[in-house]
Amino acid sequence: MLRNTFMLLAMVPLLTAAQKYGTRNGQLQFRSETPLETIEAENFKGTCVLDASTGAIEFMALIKGFQFEKALMQEHFNENYMESDKFPKASFKGTVDGMSAELITRPGRHDLTVNGELTIHGVTKPLSTPVTVEVQPTGATVAECGFIILPEDHDIAIPGMVRDNIAKEIHVKVKAELQKL
């Protein structure tokens, strides 16, 4: 009896770990569109971990990982706006409402909501947005969401001479192809 209890206790970490999914190749895109200029960037190195049994989720991306079409835009983004040496990452920590260990194994599209805190440029703000979790018949799981960021909400200063070139609302898309950890 004692041996069986010990074996069961030894398996608990394995059972818990089996509910975790993640990636180191999460995709982030943002777009600023004004009549004067469209600015777009992509980052393919976001890190995400999801605990399907609790819905807890964390996502992190290095600011310098964003790639722009024009090198000068990337330089200005990192040095003048995001101050990426001082604030090297953006992160999100929260929960996916309705997520469960059972749901993540059920093929199909699941429309849920993610709630938590988004930290950009050293400023943390609440974020709630719809998220789609697509469980494919192969077992692959893809989570996608989109939301809007206001630069002033994160103390990102836009110099007056380029204020008309940068949108007041930045549209962000996130996609993570999650693998069982």
Residue 9 forms part of a structural domain = no
Task: Kindly report whether the global pTM for this prediction surpasses the value 0.75.
Answer: yes
pLDDT, tens only, 15-56: 444 589 999 999 999 999 999 999 999 999 999 999 999 999
Residue 43 forms part of a structural domain = yes
Tokens (6 digits) for 171: 């549209």
Tell me how far the alpha carbon of residue 113 is from its chain's centroid: 13
Residue 10 forms part of a structural domain = no
**CATH label of the domain that carries residue 134:** 2.40.128.110
CB 118 within 8 A of CB 127: yes
Q: What is the pLDDT of residue 77?
A: 94
Domain count, the chain: 1
Q: What is the pLDDT of residue 18?
A: 52
Residue 158 forms part of a structural domain = yes
Cα–Cα distance for residue pair 17/158, rounded to 1 Å: 44
Quote the domain boundaries for residue 130.
Answer: 25-180
Q: What is the DSSP string of 2-29?
A: HHHHHHHHHHHHHHHHTTEEEEEEEEEE
Residue 14 forms part of a structural domain = no
Q: Which helix (H) or strand (E) holds 158?
A: none
Q: What is the pLDDT of residue 76?
A: 92
- pLDDT digit string (tens) for the chain, length 181 residues: 444 434 434 444 444 445 899 999 999 999 999 999 999 999 999 999 999 999 999 999 999 999 999 999 999 999 999 999 999 999 999 999 999 999 999 999 999 999 999 999 999 999 999 999 999 988 789 999 999 999 999 999 988 888 889 999 999 999 999 999 9
176: nearest Cα among 96, 87, 84, 89: 96
Residue 18 forms part of a structural domain = no
Q: What is the pLDDT of residue 161?
A: 85
Is 109 buried (19+), middle (13-18) or exposed (0-12) by CB count in 10 A? Answer: exposed
Q: What is the pLDDT of residue 173?
A: 98
